[in-house]
Structure 1
Amino acid sequence: MPSQRDIIEQWAARPGRHIVNLSGGKDSTALAIFLHDKIPQLEYVFCDTHKELPETYAYLDRLESFLQKKITKLNPERGFDHWLDIYGGMLPSAQVRWCTRKLKIEPFEAYIGNDLVWSYIGIRADEGRNGYISTKPNVHPVYPFKELGMTITDIEAILENSGLGLPEYYKWRQRSGCFFCFFQRTGEWIGLKEHHPDLFEQAKAYESERGGEHFYWRQRESLAELEKPERVAQIKREHAFRLEQERKRRPNRPLIELLGAILDAEDDEKGCDICHL
């Protein structure tokens, strides 16, 4: 049976371009750190929506310093607002995800062109998903963590040993991506209001100025309704109750796992496989 080192050497020997597409989240960051001294020809790419959290940009800057290699930022002039204008002010939603296509998929595929590409994806062995796989025949996905049997415990160790640790936003949010992402859980919206009230106000402004009378990021309630004191108090009570129940059910698990479980329990909408890596 080949060793971990043998497997990675086989990957590194493949002809073509080797790319890690970063999201600003823990898994793709850990993958970049894990592979950077094993596959020296790796390229690092970040599809910038221009609407990421400040913590995300700061985390990517720290990662770039650690790697001692440039992270190529795509969409330098065409961020979210550009495409919002092109789409006539129609805000994206889970049903019409033009943001994913225009800000993530198309820029990446334009960047790689027709080159043979090995796309390294940071999905772990303890996850039941595959992430986005390009339909271009020249792009081949590689899942190092899945193939090597690496789980959340390994990812946390990689980040801790590197000195980067987890992104700061993981204290209240479990996904990378735009600060107004419609896939955010209820508790994450409250976290945005408490940690970045200015960005919460911007998200509200999109609802009133762009979305029209009946469009909300959350579909079932506006952010103006969500931020009412009685609603916030209700959400916090339910959040605290679920966290305590999860601690009793899994007493030895790290907080990041517990928070992820209870946030997912708040809403059942599946998140974006491209942004959430």
Structure 2
Amino acid sequence: MKKIASCSFGKDSLAAIIVSEENGVHIDEAVYCRIMFDNEISAEPPEHEAFIHEVAIPKLEEEYGIKTTIVQAGETYCERFFTQYQRGGKIGQIYGFPMRRGAWCNSHLKLRPIAEWKRNAGDYITIVGIAADETERIERKTVQGKMLPLVEHGINEAQAFEICKKRGLLSPAYSKGRTRLGCWFCHNQRIAELRRLRKEYPELWEKLMKLDEVSHCRFTQRATVHDFEKRFSEEDRQITLFDYFG
């Protein structure tokens, strides 16, 4: 049976591939679900996007003989954001930002294209990058019947980080203090990541601000993007005053 790795190109999914290969288990294929913000901008932090296509995909094929299949929805985040409801009490209203529960971004941009790919994938077993110290994820029913190489070999997140680093397969996105990678516009990310986005990629932050102006749903359950903008601006002013009087 084929062995196919579900790969985000984060430290855990890549470490799972490396550990499998170095312990005699060959991965037949890596599958990456690419999400696009619009027709030109990826959902990945820019440095991670470059790493995926310029470093990781070529290296997996050259060093391990693993080809990567890119699965992608037929629509972008912005296209679904501006899609109007065709039925129910919201007819004519745009989707706007996803709700925390039953988020359309997950169903439309990830689950559906993966389900379509699965229909023609044949029989296979999935290799998943979950570290040995991620106990909550290990206990979920969704991992039953899947191979967890890092768990099998007792490799925790810190060790997965070092494995990727030594093999030249650690995304530069981690060098900025990130411990997790994900869509830069995700409504579930930590406030620290939103602050980082605003500081490091003001052009992306501005795009999120523009969407915020027309969405009927708050960006998070309790706050809009403009609420965060106000908070971060006030924090910047406090830091400036502290430096001045310090």
Could you state the TM-score of these two structures normalised by the residue count of structure 1?
0.68
Post-superposition offset of 1:230 = 1.5
Residues 221-241 of structure 1: per-residue CA shift (max 9 Å, x gap): 222222232145679xxxxxx
Q: Which stretch of the first structure deviates more once superposed, 17-26 or 193-202?
A: 17-26
* Inter-partner Cα distance in structure 1 for 2:18 and 2:236: 38
Show the counterpart of 1:108.
114
2:10 to 22, 25, 48: 25
Q: Does 1:79 align with 2:80?
A: no
* Inter-partner Cα distance in structure 2 for 1:75 and 1:133: 26
Q: Which stretch of the first structure deviates more once superposed, 219-228 or 55-64?
A: 219-228
Show the counterpart of 1:230.
234
Show the counterpart of 2:242.
none
Post-superposition offset of 1:216 = 2.4
Letter matched to residue 222 of structure 1: T
Post-superposition offset of 1:133 = 6.3
Residues 101-120 of structure 1: per-residue CA shift (max 9 Å, x gap): 22222222221227222111
Letter matched to residue 218 of structure 2: Y
Q: Does 1:188 align with 2:193?
A: yes
Show the counterpart of 2:90.
none
Q: Secondary structure at the match of 2:135?
A: coil
Q: Does 1:66 align with 2:73?
A: no
Q: How many residues align?
A: 215
Q: Which consecutive residues of structure 1, in runs of 5 or more, have no partner in the other structure? A: 1-14, 236-277
Q: Which consecutive residues of structure 2, in runs of 5 or more, have no partner in the other structure? A: 37-42, 86-93, 240-246
Q: Secondary structure at the match of 1:130?
A: helix
Q: Secondary structure at the match of 2:5?
A: strand
> Retained in 2: the 8 A contact 1:126–1:152?
yes
Residues 207-263 of structure 1: per-residue CA shift (max 9 Å, x gap): 112x12xx322232222222232145679xxxxxxxxxxxxxxxxxxxxxxxxxxxx
* Inter-partner Cα distance in structure 2 for 1:106 and 1:128: 28
> Retained in 1: the 8 A contact 2:17–2:27?
no
Q: Which stretch of the first structure deviates more once superposed, 114-123 or 170-179?
A: 170-179
* Inter-partner Cα distance in structure 2 for 1:23 and 1:234: 37
Letter matched to residue 46 of structure 2: P
The change in CA–CA distance for 1:177 and 1:102 in structure 2 (over 3 A counts) is same
Moved over 6 A (4+): none
Show the counterpart of 1:240.
none
> Retained in 2: the 8 A contact 1:55–1:169?
no
Letter matched to residue 185 of structure 1: R
Show the counterpart of 1:221.
223
Percent identical residues: 28
Could you state the TM-score of these two structures normalised by the residue count of structure 2?
0.76
> Retained in 1: the 8 A contact 2:73–2:110?
no
Show the counterpart of 2:130.
123
